[in-house]
Amino acid sequence: MAEDEVKQELIVSKQVISVPQRFATGPVMGYFLQELRDNARIMANRCPECGRHQVPPREVCAVCRLEADQWDEVGPEGVIRHYDIVYYASPDPLTGETREVPYVLAWIKLDGTSGDAYFWHMLKENDPSKIRKGLRVRAVFNENRVGAPSDIRHFEIIEAQESGGEQ
């Protein structure tokens, strides 16, 4: 193409997809969500063979591949085993809204669980420098619950605890 010719405009087609979705939760996850909604209780299911908990529950024990059909109430307190302080503002796929940052995600070993069940949720703490592994936290439930992960508004650090070590 000679330089004095006008370059072709390359048109970009801009589109937005918005899809209402409804996911069946099934009897296992459904029971967990129902207990969360109706009684503000966190239920873990337990493997009849090895005794490890899964929370949120999954239908079979991932290790023994047996139906994990026994239920125990766990939490609502626990210990931080791992955490992420997120500074990157990404969209919440449920709403399309950009999440406010920083926010903190935590993997929490809930009281009463056995095995490697780390419960994944948000941790509310205005001073992220206070967060460390081993701190005790508790779940804060919403007043109006709908049977969703957001029924737990977040976890919060339990103040006045001893300078907790690991576990």
Which residues of the shown chain bind another protein in the complex (CB under 8 A)?
10, 12, 17, 21, 23, 25, 29, 33, 56, 58, 62-63, 81-88, 90-94, 99, 105, 107, 116, 118, 120-122, 148-150
As measured in angstroms, the least distance from the Cβ of 166 to another protein is 10
The nearer residue to another protein, 38 or 116, going by C-beta atoms, is 116
Specify the DSSP element, H or E, that contains 54: strand 53-54
Residues contacting residue 125 through CB under 8 Å, at least 6 positions apart: 104, 131, 156, 157
The nearer residue to another protein, 121 or 157, going by C-beta atoms, is 121
As measured in angstroms, the least distance from the Cβ of 61 to another protein is 9
The nearer residue to another protein, 67 or 92, going by C-beta atoms, is 92
The nearer residue to another protein, 93 or 165, going by C-beta atoms, is 93
As measured in angstroms, the least distance from the Cβ of 82 to another protein is 5
Residues contacting residue 156 through CB under 8 Å, at least 6 positions apart: 123, 124, 125, 137, 138, 140
CB-side exposure of 61: number of CA atoms within 13 Å?
21
C-alpha closest to that of 54 among 65, 43, 64? 43
As measured in angstroms, the least distance from the Cβ of 162 to another protein is 21
Cis peptide preceding 102, ω within 30 of 0: yes
